[in-house]
Structure 1
Amino acid sequence: MTFHPGDVIDVDDDLDHAILTWRFRRRSAAPEVDLRTVRDITVSRLRGGACVGWRDRSVIDGEKQKYIGIGCNLGGSELCYVDGNETITHAGDIMMWRSDAELAFEVHDELSKLTILVPIERFSARFTIDTMPAAWHLSGASPMGAIAAQFFSGIAQNFLALRPAAVEIALDGAIGMISRSISLDLHAADDPREALYARVLADLDRRIRHDLVPADIAQRHGVSLRHLQALFAGHGQTISGWVRERRLQGACDEVTDAACTSSFTDIAQRWRFSDGAHFSRLFTERFGVNPRTARERGAVPTQRHPLAS
């Protein structure tokens, strides 16, 4: 099968909803698409056969919101073209792509795939938008790829059954894993300090609901506490400030989730705040309303800024 930009196109509505608008041609039955949207993120599981598709400027220029697409190949293979480069993904591989880049794909046989669509702003916590690559590939055969593939496979199996708050936690983990892996690839060769910073953030995020002591964090990463503090200061942060912000964002997701019936005291304890009153004060300072009002509204009025901008 060969990609021909001039071909007459059939547009598949389910695919458009799941993975944005593509110029698309099928050579088999219509794909099966399971779809779910949680807040501003769309997650879909696709099963289909031979097809080709592409996104060119006629499609891209009409879209106001930019997205990052994260695709995990669950079974089969796919040939992707981005900026003149070809990449073949196999089962277990993960491919990230920007919605503002021209790209194309070919599928020759049966393919099963998980796709997560994320507003591009969510990635600004790790690097500036302009430095993000048009596409990025993580092989499932690599150590990090093997871990990521298991995680994404778990999402694919369970995202329809989980309640919204649980889905969001899983998606936050997926986004964090990929964004930090990309950041590590972009900066490790040029700046060892950035590689260390990415590793520390990944470690903090994994252990965000545990007790986090700066001296212990420094020891875990083989540096002095002074060095770790200077590393965060270089990003305009403190260690405790980053941890507090991450915990507040996680707690806010639970407070504003209509399906969450936990008391504010329980939420405060889960996110390691000393008590309900302390949590309420910090929440109000950060989001402009107290937890009770946020729960009633189902949202907070204050724009939630990136963790590491």
Structure 2
Amino acid sequence: MSGEFTEIRGTAHDPQEWHELLAGVEPPFHRIEAARDGSGFSGRLHRILLDQVAANVIEIEASEHIVSRTAEHVKAPAAPYYVVHFQLRGSSLFRQHGLASALRAGDFVVTSGADPYSWEFRGDFSTFSMRFPQSFVDLPEAALRTVLGRPVPAVSRFGSRLSPFVAAVTTDDSLLWGPLGARVARNLIDLFATALCEAVSESPLPRSVLSFMKITDYIGRRLQEPGLDTASIARAHHLSSRHLQAVFAEQGTTVTGWIRERRLTGCRRDLADPALRDLPIGDIAARWGYRDQAYFSRLFRRSFGETPREWRATALRSVSRRD
């Protein structure tokens, strides 16, 4: 489908107005229970949609209250996604999968779009969140399941490096809404993913998941090679093609599907990059392992509902409006 490049701003003075402000909006917030002591409520939303990424800055002034995403809010998305919740100000208690985690300024958690949660705040707060496709993170869902809903503290090795970047993004609108906004968003997602990789590495994982991670790391470093296929990957890992396919099937995907999704995501990102506007589409396709431009164009259209040329024109027009 076509990408969206949109900016939304709004304020609300009670929970009902907040619901109306978020009508039709994806996570992070779906329901806010009334403040327990009956005191006032004030909320501000700044939302930026950058193609497949949604970035939100939310500020709430209220007494003790609960934000929740319940089972009734969970719907099967067109594509699976993750949401990063970053606590900018205040403190909270995040509950998911029976685990209660305290969050302080600079901490963050990652959730799946398919999972309900409850988030309790004890006073004024502000948060930053990003929603993005699961394919943006080259970790199997089975590995990430071990850290979803668990806090990554600001004092962790990568958490301490994330905080200044997130602070800059949330205080300077031009970073995300400027001509390089999509690239800034992707860099930020990569930093979140790196912090998650560190957290995953500290969790015990089944041998099958470790094998899958090793193989997908190998694939990720060779996506530009046209000859990358099931047979060559199996040979490099001293496996039969059948065994290799079974490793991927256990993670709910296929070898060819994994390669295709990441190649197309890379092509889509490069086509939208103003720094590459003069690079021919065929050259961008070749950078990601597609030597046959006609085949690439058909595959791109089947995946995204428009041709590479159409997508590039849409994305670059949006950049011109934001410049």
Into which bin does the TM-score normalised by the smaller protein fall? 0.5 to 0.7
Paired residues of 1:35 and 1:43 also in contact (CA < 8 A): yes
Alignment of 1:96-245 (within 5 A): 96-118=110-132, 126-127=140-141, 135-156=149-170, 157=172, 158-167=175-184, 169-170=186-187, 172-173=189-190, 176-177=193-194, 180=197, 184=201, 188-191=203-206, 194-195=209-210, 198=213, 226=237, 234-235=247-248
Cα distance change, pair 125–84 in 1 and its aligned pair in 2 (3 A): closer
Residue aligning to 1:93: 107
> How big is the shift at 1:71?
0.7
The TM-score with structure 2 as length reference comes to 0.60
Residue aligning to 1:254: 270
Paired residues of 1:36 and 1:43 also in contact (CA < 8 A): yes
Determine the C-alpha separation between the residues in 2 that align with 1:247 and 1:56: 33
> How big is the shift at 1:154?
5.0
Cα distance change, pair 197–110 in 1 and its aligned pair in 2 (3 A): same
Secondary structure of the equivalent of 2:307? helix
2:314 pairs with 1:297? no
Residue aligning to 1:4: none
> How big is the shift at 1:36?
0.6
Secondary structure of the equivalent of 1:287? helix
Determine the C-alpha separation between the residues in 2 that align with 1:150 and 1:271: 36
> How big is the shift at 1:169?
2.7
Supply the AA of the counterpart residue of 1:61.
E
> How big is the shift at 1:83?
4.2
Determine the C-alpha separation between the residues in 2 that align with 1:91 and 1:249: 32
Cα distance change, pair 196–139 in 1 and its aligned pair in 2 (3 A): farther
> How big is the shift at 1:95?
1.0
Determine the C-alpha separation between the residues in 2 that align with 1:245 and 1:83: 29
Determine the C-alpha separation between the residues in 1 that align with 2:46 and 2:15: 23
Structure 2, unmatched stretches of 5+, are 1-13, 229-235, 313-323
One of 36, 39, 44 as aligned partner of 2:51: 39
**Identity fraction in percent:** 13
Secondary structure of the equivalent of 2:86? strand
2:278 pairs with 1:263? yes
Residue aligning to 1:287: 300
Bigger relative contact order, structure 1 or 2 (CA pairs below 8 A, ≥6 apart): 2
Paired residues of 1:126 and 1:180 also in contact (CA < 8 A): no
Determine the C-alpha separation between the residues in 2 that align with 1:71 and 1:235: 29
Determine the C-alpha separation between the residues in 2 that align with 1:87 and 1:288: 43
Report the count of equivalent residues. Answer: 273
Structure 1, unmatched stretches of 5+, are 1-7, 215-224, 300-309
Determine the C-alpha separation between the residues in 2 that align with 1:133 and 1:126: 12
Determine the C-alpha separation between the residues in 2 that align with 1:159 and 1:149: 16
1:231-255 Cα offsets, whole Å, 9 max, x none, are 97743777x9967863442122333
